[in-house]
């Protein structure tokens, strides 16, 4: 009899908030609550994760976003495959880019885009429009949305081996007040989708990474000038606009986004921004700057993307490609993939997944799918963005229809294309020839010294 009473007391304590060993069978008591998932961040990665969780009737989903009208500094380009895969309506796409003008340090211009099929394009969007659409869809599926700023997260020491909940402390904001109200909530699982300066990553000790500063000005130009950018985007390379990246002019709804970025010389970002405006010249002359934006962009994966029942996605995990600086598709994909794998592991809300299970499903599958893409673009950046001579060679190589075809196919459909071996061999020879020529005509690279901040690499 004493044993039966003790067992009853233990079961009652669990039902009323006591915690159990991870993966212990969940009680069928009527007092049981659904597992609670917090998605911190309402951008593409967070919204796409919340959408999946919200569709499971056994999970209670809450999404935190501080700025519901946020216009994140971003070039705003999305690949064709994202339009279909994530059911993005045409109303979200401002422009369909079918041509690109690539300009070398010496001013050599190469027009690319002839290899695109009539129905192929790069979508250009404003983040405040696209992010809201994805968030609203998650809300329609049942996700709660909190207009709040997460200030801290309490991570229990034994969270890897127990079901003890995490506590999220946050400031909740309302439309009628600029001051937030301090609140706290407990959650069984957390998805960190809160960008490069992720508080979730800090709370779970995810480690540091190098990051670039992206700087962009939205410029309203005359209608006749805007007509030039109807289906056109421009990329400028040269150490005047960036010592390790590129400058861009991307068309938006009724204006252009003009920007640049750098990792190795972040303090000089405004100097590089002035240079990209100067390089664009008459094409944007007389334009009015309607918005100035700056934001950190990760350069590589976080050392740790999962700790216990906390997982990172999107920029918080470091999913931005080098060379192109693309992150929107990978943010949305990683958010959806992480949520799908975790929901499957939870088996209709009957258990919580372990760290090892999340890593062996979500992380392993993501790396298998996109690891080659990150590797190839990392190599390309090291080879072609390292000096003005290499940049001259890069622009000349882009004259090749084969290079254009492979580049667009890889970007639009997010897979490293299986190429023609003979064409690849020819491309190797062309690359060497272009590099020799590029270094012979290129202007010397500007020297700079920045030993304290940006030259420190992880």
**Beta strand pairing call for 109-112 and 77-78:** unpaired
* Residues 6 or more apart whose Cβ sits within 8 Å of residue 140: none
- Res. 83 pLDDT band, cuts 50 70 90: very high
**For residues 39 and 47, what is the distance between their CA atoms, to the nearest angstrom?**
8
CA dihedral over 199, 200, 204, 207, signed as positive or negative? negative
Q: What is the mean pLDDT of residues 266-283?
A: 96
Structure tokens at 325: 């600086």
**Beta strand pairing call for 109-112 and 247-251:** unpaired
Q: What is the model's pLDDT at position 425? A: 63
Q: What is the model's pLDDT at position 9? A: 36
Q: What is the mean pLDDT of residues 361-382?
A: 92
Q: What is the model's pLDDT at position 1? A: 36
Phi, psi of 351 (to 5 degrees): -160, 165
- The answer to whether the CB of 124 falls within 8 A of the CB of 254 is no
**For residues 73 and 295, what is the distance between their CA atoms, to the nearest angstrom?**
6
The runs of H, that is alpha helices, within 177-268 are 199-203, 223-228
Q: What is the model's pLDDT at position 28? A: 44
pLDDT digits (tens, 9 = 90+) for 309-340: 999 999 999 999 988 888 999 999 999 999 99
Q: Helix (H, G, I), strand (E, B), or coil: what is residue 305?
A: coil
- Res. 273 pLDDT band, cuts 50 70 90: very high
The mean pLDDT of the chain is: 88
**For residues 441 and 330, what is the distance between their CA atoms, to the nearest angstrom?**
37
- The Cβ of residue 184 has, within 10 Å, a number of other Cβ atoms equal to 11
Q: What is the model's pLDDT at position 130? A: 94
pLDDT exceeds 70 at position 232: yes
pLDDT digits (tens, 9 = 90+) for 182-191: 999 999 999 9
- The answer to whether the CB of 190 falls within 8 A of the CB of 206 is no
Q: What is the mean pLDDT of residues 72-99?
A: 90
> Mean pLDDT highest for which of 155-159, 412-416, 430-434?
155-159
Closest of 127, 170, 182 to residue 332, by C-alpha:
127
pLDDT exceeds 50 at position 69: yes
Q: What is the model's pLDDT at position 288? A: 97
pLDDT exceeds 80 at position 4: no
End-to-end CA distance of the chain: 62
- The answer to whether the CB of 35 falls within 8 A of the CB of 345 is no
Q: What is the model's pLDDT at position 42? A: 95
**For residues 123 and 18, what is the distance between their CA atoms, to the nearest angstrom?**
50
Q: What is the model's pLDDT at position 11? A: 39
∠ CA 208-211-214, rounded to 5°: 150
Structure tokens at 142: 């049942």
Closest of 321, 433, 315 to residue 376, by C-alpha:
321
Identify the structural domains of the chain with CATH numbers, from first to last. Answer: 33-70+129-209+300-373 (3.50.50.60), 94-124+210-298+387-441 (3.30.9.10)
DSSP string, 306-364: EETTEEE-GGGTT---TTT---HHHHHHHHHHHHHHHHHHHTTTT----HHHHIIIIIH
**For residues 289 and 219, what is the distance between their CA atoms, to the nearest angstrom?**
4
Q: What is the model's pLDDT at position 299? A: 87
Helix (H) or strand (E) holding 290: strand 288-298
Q: What percent of the chain has pLDDT over 90?
A: 67
pLDDT digits (tens, 9 = 90+) for 11-63: 344 433 444 556 554 544 434 679 999 999 999 999 999 999 999 999 999 99
**For residues 441 and 238, what is the distance between their CA atoms, to the nearest angstrom?**
13
Q: What is the model's pLDDT at position 419? A: 62
What separation in angstroms does the CA of 244 have from each of 63, 229, 264, 330? 35, 25, 7, 22
């Amino acid at each position: 009899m004493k044993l039966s009473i003790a067992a009853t007391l233990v079961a009652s304590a669990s039902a009323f908030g006591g915690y159990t060993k991870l993966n212990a069978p969940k009680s069928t008591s009527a007092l049981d609550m659904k597992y609670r998932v917090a998605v911190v961040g309402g951008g593409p990665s967070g919204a796409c994760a919340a959408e999946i969780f919200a569709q499971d009737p056994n999970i209670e989903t809450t999404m935190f976003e501080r700025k519901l009208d946020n216009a994140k500094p971003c070039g705003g380009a999305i690949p064709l495959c994202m339009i279909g895969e994530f059911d993005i309506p045409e109303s979200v796409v401002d422009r369909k880019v079918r041509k690109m003008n690539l300009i070398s340090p010496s001013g050599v211009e190469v027009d690319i885009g002839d290899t695109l099929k009539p129905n192929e394009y790069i979508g250009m969007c404003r983040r405040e429009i696209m992010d809201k659409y994805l968030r609203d869809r998650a809300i329609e599926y049942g996700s709660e949305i909190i207009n709040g700023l997460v200030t801290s997260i309490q991570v229990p020491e034994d969270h890897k081996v127990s079901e003890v909940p995490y506590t999220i402390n946050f400031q909740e904001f309302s439309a009628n007040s600029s001051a937030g109200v301090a609140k706290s909530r407990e959650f069984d699982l957390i998805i960190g989708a809160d960008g490069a300066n992720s508080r979730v990553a800090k709370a779970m000790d995810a480690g540091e990474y190098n990051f670039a500063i992206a700087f962009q000005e939205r410029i309203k130009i005359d209608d006749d000038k805007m007509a030039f950018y109807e289906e056109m985007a421009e990329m400028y390379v040269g150490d005047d606009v960036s010592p390790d990246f590129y400058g861009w002019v991307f068309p938006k709804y009724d204006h252009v986004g003009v920007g640049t970025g750098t990792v190795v010389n972040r303090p000089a970002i405004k100097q590089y921004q002035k240079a990209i405006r100067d390089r664009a010249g008459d094409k944007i002359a007389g334009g009015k700057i309607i918005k100035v934006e700056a934001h950190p962009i990760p350069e590589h994966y976080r050392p740790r993307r999962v700790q216990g029942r906390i997982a990172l996605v999107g920029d918080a995990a470091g999913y931005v490609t080098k060379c192109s600086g693309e992150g929107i598709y990978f943010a949305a994909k990683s958010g959806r993939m992480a949520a799908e794998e975790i929901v499957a592991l939870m088996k209709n809300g009957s258990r919580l997944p372990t760290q090892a299970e999340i890593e062996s499903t979500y992380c392993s599958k993501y790396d298998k799918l996109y690891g080659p893409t990150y590797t190839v673009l990392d190599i390309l950046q090291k080879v072609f963005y390292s000096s003005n001579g290499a940049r001259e060679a890069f622009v000349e190589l882009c004259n090749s229809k084969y290079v254009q075809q492979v580049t667009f196919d890889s970007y639009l459909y997010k897979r490293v294309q299986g190429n023609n071996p003979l064409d690849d061999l020819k491309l190797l020879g062309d690359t060497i020839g272009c590099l020799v020529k590029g270094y012979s005509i290129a202007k010397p690279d500007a020297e700079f010294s920045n030993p304290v901040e940006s030259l420190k690499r992880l």
